[in-house]
Chain A
């Protein structure tokens, strides 16, 4: 490994890419090999990304020229503390979800194992590439890789999934095209596609309306892809009809990676000076985020199916990060970045728990959840931890990102955002305790109201999820608490140094 370490930034793309090809080939030759190839590929990438994060902690930035071509002509990969962290999160989530869903995939798609796993690994490759690349056009290519595989992963489900996938495809393509158009304008103006290069050329064009147009196009494209209210309409259907194995990786990662890309574009392509100070977008964006948080929460309240409710929670969470980022002060940006990490793991945990429930109960209507605490005590314990994190209860990690975001809101004097965050916490408490109540109380005990006959609800046999699923779920739940306790280290050693000092 030692002599390979200079090539780590490339390996992050190459390893899963090769794994995807091997998995696909194994699908024709020997289907039993599909899962090991996919798992090995993702696990190796997880190790590589951890190694990268460890080395950027000392070295700050690693630049890697693909094929040795010098920038700005060749494609440059650029790993700093921030995307080093995001990369680790991507592979951690993808790997854990893969292991957890081994059995559901085998049972749902026995004939298409090669195809499914190849799509899965390619999807992750696209996401990690978007995060690692230092080239604005390369980012578009990888965005399309992850989007196309994403459409397929969603459409592979049954019932209404293909239609939802198609709808997602239309919206996603519009978003990606807008981004491409923005990059096209940038290329016209600066003649470069390298992010650092564009940033250095940019001050000459600060006054240009084309620049403003390019910025707005890029951002709008990204907002569609991250499902920022009111551009969110594609998400609930696409997510709630897709199979558990797909949603377990798509839900935690897609929106979070798009938010990272937004941060990357505003900081590294357009520079904070341009994005924050010259565009005067902050106020508008924060109010949009407030709307996203409040509307997402209200829509979630109206749902009667678990997975569908969670999709609206995601929409509200997108508002957390967008709002925090556009507040533009150090506290709030720290909160937004920290929330990328925390929300990815929280969403993973809650969707793994939901997946375990759906797998055992074969349904996610609130009616189906009765007696769940007796049937699946361990899964529901993990579900409760994830719920507490989404509500924002210490010491789970969700509390700490909320802490930074609210502090940022107070520091900026933006009380609308503060109130929206508190409102969303309270709504999340209602949402999740509603489910906990159904699982805990119903069916009601027979001796109703009368003291003296407290024999509790009728006994039910324990039907826990399979061991592999349970182990991954517990690992995710424990990491919520570990991340919470190590918030101090994560912020001071990684995030604080990753945010430009100008903010």
Chain B
């Protein structure tokens, strides 16, 4: 393992930040969206250009400033961070196209502000992905919280304000009241915050200290939506749908799960967790979230809220997989970041497309909608297959590894949890699809005329739906990154 000093990670983080002045000063909306696309493509290009180096075992490193003794704003690109960065930056391109269709289709106000904070949020997301120590991670985590606040509350009405309060209460409250003291204590006890394979907490012998720190971190990173720190996510669904799609299915929530995985692998280390049997504890916490959120999802009639509760459950898959500490389980958990992202973003895109085309938000009003919007509902079907974990969709691959992981780790209870959750997922997704296509003419709420959403909305959801299927047949890029990540993170030294 050798480290190379490189500006590339910094560039990848900064690309979207640099587009912000362009977005603000653009005279026409088309030029403004041009900036967004240019930044998105450049960002994706820069991220992808680092893949070969990362796979060959080189770690790219750059320290922006040494802010505290032995602690800087440091970027270090490893395979796990790369996996997340590829997912976030590739889906930003698609979401930008979708945003244009959605925002213009609904004549939303303040679109400049919207695109501006979207770009900021992406900068912060990549900052988290490439963070080389806990402090840098925290910095960008907080930056992301503030960058997404104006997006969540975009409508600026009473509902948006109360959702915004809930959002800040959980996310900011978690990071200041839980993560900050835990981070400072860790720094005080160990003198470092650098992510290292097998962590840096090995020197601490007190089991209770470790346990308290672990719980503070796991619950403090509220973006991961581990119950009871989850209820900001359904509230955040008041945001425009592209925000829910990219941020609340991919970037923000995955940042939370990413942080928890970093805590497990880079701060505590898998050996330490196994030695104190904390792995089972995290598994139990995650599985409670998985089952409870799936059950709640069943009862939701508003489509986006159902998707939100589904996301809460799926995020805990990632945490559960990594906490299994077995080779396959960790690979599956990391893969799930990518697989779930493609599936869930498709579902959100579909929810938004239905809303743009018909103005309907509730599942009970979607009977027979498949005849009106066959492409959208077809994509919805593929997306739900991926989230349930059925072939031929990418979600199957990650769930396969997760199930394999439970067997490897001899955690058969977790195996049952995963299978039960799959059934629940099927129970809350498939009826939507079924009712959309199969109903008597009397029940149908739509006539047979095909009227899809505008092409800017439709094309992205087709792309991501096809993407989910492609990932089933060609999961190699993500699989290799995940396998390499697991190798290095559990390798020690």
Contacts and interface: CB of A to CB of B under 8 A. Distances in A.
Interface stretch (A214-222, A346-354, A465-473, A480-488): A480-488
A394 B142 contact: yes
Interface in A416-463: 418, 422, 425-426, 429, 433, 437, 440-441, 444-445, 447-449, 451-452, 454-457
A355 interface: no
A400 interface: yes
B188 A425 contact: no
A89 interface: no
Contacts of B240: 454
A395 B139 contact: yes
Question: Chain A's interface: helix, strand, loop or mixed, by majority?
Answer: helix
A422 B68 contact: no
B173 interface: yes
B146 A456 contact: no
Nearest to A447: B157
A411 B184 CA distance: 10
B58 interface: no
B359 A440 contact: no
B192 to A, nearest CB: 14
Contact of A456 (B156, B164, B172): B156
A395 B67 contact: yes
Interface string B175-186: 011001100110
A437 B157 contact: no
A234 to B, nearest CB: 31
Contacts of B361: 451
B109 A410 contact: no
A436 to B, nearest CB: 9
Interface in A468-503: 484-488, 491-492
A444 B159 CA distance: 10
Contacts of B108: 454
Given A406-B184, A426-B176, A441 B156 contact: yes
Contacts of B158: 441, 444, 448-449
A429 B168 contact: yes
Contacts, number: 102
Contact of B164 (A391, A437, A452, A486): A437
Interface in B60-76: 64-69, 72-73
Nearest to B150: A440
Interface residues of B, number: 45
A114 interface: no
B153 interface: yes
B184 A395 contact: no
Interface in B151-207: 153-161, 164-165, 168, 172-173, 176-177, 180-181, 184-185, 187-188
Given A410-B184, A429-B176, A451-B361, A441 B160 contact: yes
A388 B146 contact: yes
A55 interface: no
A394 B156 contact: no
Nearest to B241: A451
Interface string B336-369: 0000000000000000000100010100000000
A411 B156 contact: no
Interface residues of A, number: 39
Nearest to B71: A488
Given A394-B142, A429-B172, A451-B355, A485 B155 contact: no
**Best-surrounded residue of B107, B139, B184, B355 (most CB of chain A within 10 A):** B184
Given A393-B146, A400-B68, A422-B176, A441 B153 contact: yes
Interface string A361-403: 0000000000000000000000000001001111100001001
A441 B476 CA distance: 47
B28 interface: no
A490 to B, nearest CB: 10
Contacts of B107: 455
Contacts of A447: 157
B110 interface: yes
B142 A454 contact: no
A46 B176 CA distance: 37
A342 to B, nearest CB: 13
Nearest to A428: B176
B138 interface: yes
Nearest to A395: B139
A426 B109 contact: no
Contacts of B110: 456
B274 interface: no
Contact of A426 (B106, B135, B157, B177): B177
A353 B159 CA distance: 28
10 contacts: A395-B139, A411-B188, A445-B156, A448-B157, A452-B359, A454-B106, A454-B155, A457-B156, A487-B67, A488-B72
Q: Which 4 A-B pairs have the closest CB atoms?
A: A456-B109, A394-B139, A488-B66, A441-B161
Interface of A: 388, 391-395, 400, 403, 406-407, 410-411, 418, 422, 425-426, 429, 433, 437, 440-441, 444-445, 447-449, 451-452, 454-457, 484-488, 491-492
Given A426-B173, A437-B165, 4 more contacts: A394-B139, A449-B158, A454-B155, A491-B69
Interface of B: 64-69, 72-73, 106-110, 135, 138-139, 142, 146, 150, 153-161, 164-165, 168, 172-173, 176-177, 180-181, 184-185, 187-188, 240, 355, 359, 361
